[in-house]
Amino acid sequence: MEIQNNNDFKYVIQDTNCVYFGKELTYAEMMDKDDIPFKFKAIISAHIARDTDLNRKMADHILQISDQEFSYRIFEQLKLTVSVCYKVQKKGFGGKIKDKWVHKACSFKQFCNEYRSQAANGDMMIEDFSISKLALMALSI
What pTM, to 2 d.p., does this model score? 0.84
Amino acid at 38: F
Pick the CATH number of 8-138 from 3.40.50.11060, 3.50.50.60, 1.20.81.30, 3.30.465.10: 3.30.465.10
DSSP annotation of 126: E
Domain locations in the chain as residue ranges: 8-138
Q: How confident is the model at residue 2 (pLDDT cuts 50, 70, 90)?
A: low
pLDDT in tens, 25-63: 999 999 999 999 999 999 999 999 998 999 999 999 999
CA triple 129-132-136, angle to 5 deg = 115
Read out DSSP for 53-104? -TTSBHHHHHHH--TTSHHHHHHHHTT-EEEEEEEEEEE-TTS-EEEEEEEE
The mean pLDDT of 113-118, rounded to a whole number, is: 91
Q: In the chain, pLDDT over 90 holds for what percent of residues?
A: 74
pLDDT in tens, 68-92: 999 999 999 999 999 999 999 888 7
**Sequence-distant (≥ 6) Cβ neighbours of residue 59 within 8 angstroms:** 23, 24, 126, 129
